[in-house]
Structure formats: structure tokens, C-alpha cells
Amino acid sequence: MDDAGSAIRLGPFKVSAARAAIEAFRSETGWPHAEGETRVPHIFPMRWLASSELRAAIETQLQARGGIAIHEAQSFAYEHSLEADRDYILTAELESQKSPDRLILRASIANTANEPLLQVETILRIVGAKESAP
Amino acid sequence: MGEQLPKRKCGPLDAEALTRYALASGDDNPLHLDLAIAKRAGLEERPIHGMLIAGHFEPVIRAWRQDFELMGLSIKFLRPVLVGEMFELSGRVIRVSQIDRPNIILRLMAHGLKADGSAGDLALVAEGKLHAAVI
């Protein structure tokens, strides 16, 4: 199987910004404790990228390509901030590239009215891939 | 332009902190949690999740300018910071513009810190985009 150069569409998936999850995330990323603070951390959507569906798609690609994934780059581009205790809709595309060997996950997050809020891109460098380009 | 953000030293983080972040973020990559796997990858210790380090930027930015919102962040991971090591966040304004409303572009960096407290390797570099908050 060689999906290099191809892209797989994933989703839509419902994701949520539950207050308890936000508080746990804030406490591990250097935020001062603030009672009742509901600001959603900028990078909180990383939690959604760790969903079993997205991980399975990445794992399938890694098994096909061989090698391990190294997190090379990450970006977030917001149009509107997220709010606590809201549901969102995530759709994604997983692109497999060669020369160099990479997986690129691009996720779009919208509110339940389908208004776009955020674009997220994860770039994974595949180290030790089979049939690596010279 | 050129204004520096206050530097912030963070850590050292222990293995339990990485486990807690793994639970909070869902990133349970064993490279960060299993010392044997980290050693097989040629590291002396478990590497701190890059996003755990990057996540510390927003509180620093928020403490610096509460009248601006972080609306974009692009991060490149360069070198690992290991369990037991400290890191230092720094940043400066590289562009200010007025498109619809005031915007600030920041260059952000995280350096590992050596045992004597001096700056070590550049662990990650990022660009942050801030918009004036709508009040």
C-alpha cells in the first residue's frame, strides 16, 4: 500500500470543550489558577487531535510507510475563540507526503451552526520510513 | 516593535507532570512516558511534550497584554527538553499593524536551560498573532 501524495478525509466528528477538561489542560500548561476561569486555551484542540479516529488514521499510514512519527510543526489559526461547555464539529484531512516523508493533518473546527472557527495543522516527520526518497 | 516579553523560566518537570499532561491532552505517546523507549530513541531521559512547552506561551502573552487575544500560533519543534530540565520562554514584537483593528506579531522562543541556569539549545520557535480584544 502506498498512499504517499494522497489525502484521506476524516469526519465530521463532534468534539466538546468541557469545563473540567479545560481546567485540567490549563493546570498542566502553566496557567495560574483562577476560580471560574473558562477561557479555552489556544492549543486545547490538541486534545481533539488525539481522538481515536484520527490516531487510527495516522497509525494506519505509519504502518504502511514504516518508521515513527516525530512532531515537526504545529499551527492554529483562529477566526473566533472557542467557548467552554460547547460542542464543535471537527473535519480533517490527512495527507501523506514523500521527499521528505511526512504526514500532514489539517483539521477544521466549526460551531454546530457550521460557522468556521479554527484551522489546525499538524506536521509529522516520518523517521525511518520504508522507500524513503534519496 | 522590538518590545520584549518578560522572560519566564519553567520547570523542571518530572515524569508525573508528563503523565498528567498526557491525560489532559490525550497525547500518550510512549516516547514521553516510557524511559526505556526514550533511551532506545537515543535520549537520556523522557522528552517533554513539545506542545506542553508551547502551551506555556499563552499565559505569558496573556500576562503581558490582556487587551489582546492570541488568534494564531505557528510552532516549529527543534530540540527536545528532557524530564528534569528547565526551559525559558522569551519573545519580542516583530510587527505591529492596523488591519480592521490593531494586530501584533510576536516571535516566540523556548530554550532549554543548562544546569547553571544559562540558556541552552533552542527547543522551539513560534510566531504568535494577536488581535486587539473586542470589548
**Grid cell locating B2:** 522590538
- Of the pLDDT bands very low, low, confident and very high (cuts 50, 70, 90), residue A2 is very low
Query: Across B50-118, where does the E strand assignment appear?
Result: 68-77, 86-99, 101-113
Q: What is the pLDDT of residue A1?
A: 38
Q: Going from the N-terminus, what domains does chain B have, and what CATH number goes with each? A: 8-13+48-132 (3.10.129.10)
* Sheet order of strands, B119-132 included: A7-16, A87-97, A102-111, A116-127, A68-78, B68-77, B119-132, B101-113, B86-99, B8-10
Q: What is the pLDDT of residues A7-60, one digit of tens each?
A: 999 999 999 999 999 999 999 999 998 877 889 999 999 999 999 999 999 999
CB contact A62 to B (< 8 Å)? no
- Three-class secondary structure of residue A112 per DSSP: coil
Q: What gap in Å lies between CA A43 and CA A31, rounded to an integer? A: 12
Q: What gap in Å lies between CA B13 and CA B23, rounded to an integer? A: 15
- In A, minimum Cα distance to B130 occurs at A78
CB contact B9 to A (< 8 Å)? no
Q: What is the pLDDT of residues B10-61, one digit of tens each?
A: 999 999 999 999 999 999 999 999 999 999 989 999 999 999 999 999 999 9
Cβ–Cβ below 8 Å for B70 and A29: no
Which of A15, A72, A74, A82 to substitute to test the interface with B, most B CBs within 10 Å? A74
Which residues from A are below 8 Å from B76, CB to CB?
72-73
In chain A, which residue ranges form alpha helices assigned H by DSSP? 19-27, 46-49, 52-65
Nearest to B87 by CA among B17, B1, B34: B17
End-to-end, the C-alpha distance of chain B in Å comes to: 24
Cα distance from B20 to chain A (closest Cα, Å)? 7
CB contact B70 to A (< 8 Å)? yes
In this structure, which amino acid lies at residue B35? L
Q: What is the pLDDT of residues B72-103, one digit of tens each?
A: 999 999 999 999 999 999 999 999 999 888 99
To the nearest whole number, what is the mean pLDDT of chain A? 91
Q: What gap in Å lies between CA B30 and CA B12, rounded to an integer? A: 20
Cβ–Cβ below 8 Å for B51 and A71: yes
Cβ–Cβ below 8 Å for A76 and B72: yes
Q: Going from the N-terminus, what domains does chain A have, and what CATH number goes with each? A: 6-128 (3.10.129.10)
Q: Are B31 and B24 in contact (CB under 8 A)?
A: no
Cβ–Cβ below 8 Å for B59 and A71: no
Angle at which helices A19-27 and B15-25 pack, to 10 degrees?
150
Residues with Cβ within 8 Å of B37's Cβ and at least 6 positions away in sequence, in order, are: B30, B31
Cβ–Cβ below 8 Å for A43 and B51: yes
- Of the pLDDT bands very low, low, confident and very high (cuts 50, 70, 90), residue A68 is confident
Q: In a 10 Å sphere around its CB, with 0-12 CB exposed, 13-18 middle and 19+ buried, how is residue B62 labelled?
A: middle
Phi-psi region of B128 (alpha: psi -120 to 50; beta: other; left: phi over 0): beta
Cβ–Cβ below 8 Å for B76 and A72: yes
Q: Which of A47, A73, A81 sits opposite B76 (nearest CB)?
A: A73
Half-sphere exposure of B95 (CA within 13 A, CB side): 10
